[in-house]
Amino acid sequence: MKKHVLILEAEGGSDKWLDGHRLDTMPIANAIIEKGFEAEVLFFRDEWVDEIFTRALEKSSAVIVRINPGNLVNGEDKLFDMLRRLYDTGILIMTHPDTMINFGAKDALAKLADTDLVTTDTYAYYSHDEFKESFPKSISYGIRVLKQNRGSTGSGIWRVEIADEKVTCKPGDTLPMETKIKCTEAFDNHVEYHTLGEFIEFCKQYTDGENGMLVDMRFMPRITEGELRILMVSDAPIFVVHKKPADEADAFSATIGSGATYTYHKPEDYQNLVESFVEAIPMISEKLGDIKEPPLIWTGDFMLDTDENGKDTYVLGEINCSCVGFFSHLDMGIQDKVADEVIRRITEKHNC
């Protein structure tokens, strides 16, 4: 067994510190070293793909990916292809590209719509024509939230509601394209008014291109009370962060950039929610692609709802696993939990 772990980063981007690394990258590397393994951090470039592949093949038992795909100038295709080839040689990849895609794509919500995690009226549109045909009917049921597949920090996430007082409709009606609608983007809670037809054409940018899609889900009014993010290392919950949107008109975004406030809690503070999520991981993995292991570092975001008996319940709003950061909580020793899980997977694979 090779006791060497390669950690990959991307150069540049807003997630880097003075040394050019993510604030949580070197703590992970150092935690692995302290536990008796070697750890090396390299930057990934497309033109270096062959050299990185050879280096990992010769030295490493595992590769940890700490790359925000948005920081790769030419996208993630070459990175993902290299990682898949390394995986085929027997090297552990954390997290594997297929797992990143299956867990992290917004249509994961639609794939879970027949479970207790997500409302049944959650849909995914993979073409502009499909969206154009279905959304004018979907919005007749009430306020909707649209999520693009490629966005982050609230970009391309829109709350859409009817703003035309002249329009009267019943659930299931198809609204006319000239219907006036109010659109609020989660990126900064700014408001725009359009006709339904104008907005549908605007959303063509989200469904066009490779991996283009839109997810359409019911708006949860209790989002103003805050969203709950469970941070996981593999199948172990580490903490829960309560993300409360800014106390402003139209605010529904739970991102720091939009003014939301974050409060951190122990998993046991939300024991029922956390336990039910952990119990659901095997089912989630099966429905999202028969994934053998959960991502290395990932999150599940939940919104409050109320059931038919008036009791609190939770609805899954998103899964993130491409490059979840935890640099603001290094004092909790999360890097040690990550290192322990990496070494556990390596030794288990090699029966050590």
Res. 352: pLDDT tops 70: no
pLDDT of residue 323: 86
pLDDT of residue 308: 87
Could you tell me how many residues make up the chain?
352
pLDDT of residue 150: 72
Domains of the chain: 4-95+333-349 (3.40.50.280), 103-109+222-325 (3.30.470.20), 119-219 (3.90.70)
pLDDT of residue 149: 86
Tokens at 287, concatenated = 């429905």
Please state which of the ranges 9-13, 165-169, 345-349 shows the lowest mean pLDDT.
Answer: 165-169
CA dihedral 279, 213, 14, 10 (to 10 degrees): 80
**Averaged over 115-121, what is the pLDDT?**
94
235-247: per-residue pLDDT in tens? Answer: 999 999 999 888 8
What is the edge-to-edge ordering of all strands in the sheet holding 144-148? 123-125, 214-218, 144-148, 157-162, 180-185, 191-195
163-198: per-residue pLDDT in tens? Answer: 988 888 899 999 999 999 999 999 888 999 999 999
**259/40: higher pLDDT:** 40
**Per-residue confidence band for 113, with pLDDT thresholds at 50, 70 and 90:** very high
311-332: per-residue pLDDT in tens? Answer: 999 999 999 988 888 776 776 7
Half-sphere exposure of 128 (CA within 13 A, CB side): 13
For the whole model, what pTM was predicted? 0.90
